[in-house]
Amino acid sequence: MRRPTIVDIAKAAGVSKGSVSYALNGRPGVSEETRRRILAIAHDLGWAPSSPARALSSGGRVGAIGLVIDRPAHVLGVEPFFMQFVSGIEAELTGSGVDLLLQVTEEHQAEVAAYRRWAAEQRVDGVIIVDVRTEDPRFEAVQKTFLPTVVLGGPEGIGSLPCLYTDESAPMREVVHYLGALGHQRIARIAGPEYFVHTGKRTRAFLEAAEEAGVAEVYTEHADYTGEAGTRITRRLLTRTDRPTALVYDNDLMAVAGLGVARELGVDVPSQLSIVAWDDSTLCGLVRPALTAVVRDVVSYGREAARMLVKVVSGERVQSKEISPGELQPRASTGLLLS
C-alpha cells in the first residue's frame, strides 16, 4: 500500500510519466481524451502530488509560509492578537494548498535564526514579519536570503519590503479627545515595550493628541503586555498622590489587570477612573464594567497579509497597503469624571 506516484499512473494509462505530469497540471501537450483518462486513473488511485518532490523540481515551491511569534508561553495563551492573526492567515490559505509553519520563541535572536534556517533549508516560500522593532535584524536576514516577505508594520524602517501598515494616530486622537471631553486632565498610558516601532508611534500620537485636545498631563509607562506588568504598573500609578484619572492600555490583557487593581484599591470605574484598552477581544465585553476599547479587525489583518505574501511568492509585484486602524468602541469603563 505504497502511496501512488505518477509512474503508477503512467503504467496504468499506458503513457509516459511526462504525459501524466502535463495532464495533471492542466498544461497543453496531451489530447483531451488522454487527459481525462489520466485524471480518472489518478483519482481512482487516490494520487496526490508529493510536496517534497514538487519543491525539488525546477523552481518549485514548497507550499508553505512561515510565521514566528516572539512571546513567552504564558502571555501568548491570553494575548488574543496573535491567534486572531493566525486565524486570519489560515482562513486565507484554506483550500490554496499552502500551509502555515508556526514558530513560537521566547527570544528575538532565535527568531532571526528561524528565518535563516527556513530559508536555507527551503522550508517555506515566504514569511510574515510582525512586531517591527527599531534596529530590527530580521530585515537584513530576509533580504540576504531573498526570502519573500510581507511585514505587518512599517512602512518606515523596513527597507523596500511590502507591508501592511496602520495609522496609529487616528484612533489615538479619538481616544484622547474622548477622554478629554469626559473631563480627564491627567491621562497615563501603559504601553508595550519601547523597542517596538508601533509603541513609539503611539507614544508620539498620544502626546500630539493631548496637546491638540488640551489635556494637561499625559505620560507613558512601558510594560511587556503581561498581566503581571499591568497589575504592577497600575498599582503604582493609582497609589500616587496625583493619580491619573484615565488609563490607556496597549493591549487588553493589561487593561483587565488594571481593572482588577482599581477594584482592589476601591477606585470606582468609571466615576473616578476611566479605562481604555487597545485591541478588543471578547474579553473586554466579559469583564465588569465592560472595557471601552479600540477595536481592530485583526483577523482581516491576517487574511490580507497572507493574501499579499502569496502574491509576492508567485512573483507578483505587490504594493504596500494601509489598513483600517480601528476605532473606539465605548463601553462601561469610561465615563464622566466625577471629582
Partner DNA sequence: CGATGGTGCTGAACCGGTTAAGCAAGTGGG
Partner DNA sequence: CCCACTTGCTTAACCGGTTCAGCACCATCG
From the list 170, 188, 187, 184, the residue with the least C-alpha distance to 328 is 170
C-beta of 21 vs 203, nearer to a second copy = 21
Starting at the edge strand found earlier in the chain, the sheet holding 217-222 runs 217-222, 186-191, 246-249, 274-278, 292-295, 327-329
11 or 144: CB nearest DNA:
11
22 binds, among a second copy, DNA, none (CB under 5 to 8 A by kind): DNA
Taking the CA atoms of 250, 139, 69 and 285 in sequence, report the sign of the dihedral they define: positive
Residue 54 CB, shortest distance to a second copy, in Å, is 8
CA distance 252 to 230: 10
Contact partner, 263, from a second copy, DNA, none, Cβ < 5-8 Å per class: a second copy
Tell how strand 274-278 and strand 292-295 pair up: parallel
Q: Can residue 63 be called a binding residue for DNA (CB under 7 A)?
A: no
- Residue from 59, 95, 266, 315 binding DNA (CB under 7 A): 59
Whole-number minimum distance, CB 68 to a second copy, in Å?
Answer: 10
Which secondary structure element, helix H or strand E, spans residue 80, and what is its range? helix 80-93
Q: Shortest gap between Cβ of 254 and a second copy (angstroms)? A: 9
Which range, of 55-63, 78-86, 171-179, 237-245, touches DNA by CB under 7 A? Answer: 55-63
Count CA atoms closer than 13 A to 15's CA, side-chain side.
22
Least separation in angstroms between residue 42's CB and DNA is 10
226 binds a second copy (CB under 8 A): yes
- In the list DNA, a second copy, none, the entry touching 233 (Cβ below 5 to 8 angstroms by class) is none
Q: Is 243 in the site for a second copy (CB under 8 A)?
A: no
Q: Does 49 bind DNA (CB under 7 A)?
A: yes
CA distance 63 to 52: 9
Task: Decide if residue 74 touches a second copy (CB under 8 A).
Answer: yes
Beta carbon nearer to DNA, 147 or 269: 147
- Contact between 259 and a second copy by CB under 8 A: the answer reads yes
Q: Using CB under 8 A, which of 180, 227, 244, 326 touches a second copy?
A: 227
96 lies in the binding site for DNA (CB under 7 A): no
**Cβ(225)–Cβ(201) under 8 Å?**
no
| Interface of this chain with DNA, residues 25 to 44, rule: CB under 7 A | 25, 27-34
Q: Is residue 54 within the footprint of DNA (CB under 7 A)?
A: yes
Which of 285, 204, 297, 219 is closest to 252 using CA atoms? 285
Number of residues that bind DNA (CB under 7 A): 34
Instruction: List C-alpha distances in Å: 120 to 29, 70, 299, 310, 314.
Output: 35, 21, 30, 20, 19
Tell me how crowded residue 322 is: count the other CB atoms within 10 A of its CB. Answer: 11
Q: Which helix (H) or strand (E) holds 149?
A: strand 149-152
Q: Is 159 left (phi over 0), alpha (psi -120 to 50) or beta?
A: left
- Rule CB under 8 A: say whether 297 interacts with a second copy: no
Total residues binding a second copy (CB under 8 A): 71
Which residue among 7, 120, 181, 338 contacts a second copy (CB under 8 A)?
120
Whole-number Å distance between alpha carbons of 132 and 109: 14
Contacts with DNA by CB under 7 A lie at 2-3, 5-7, 14-19, 21-22, 24-25, 27-34, 47-50, 53-54, 56-60
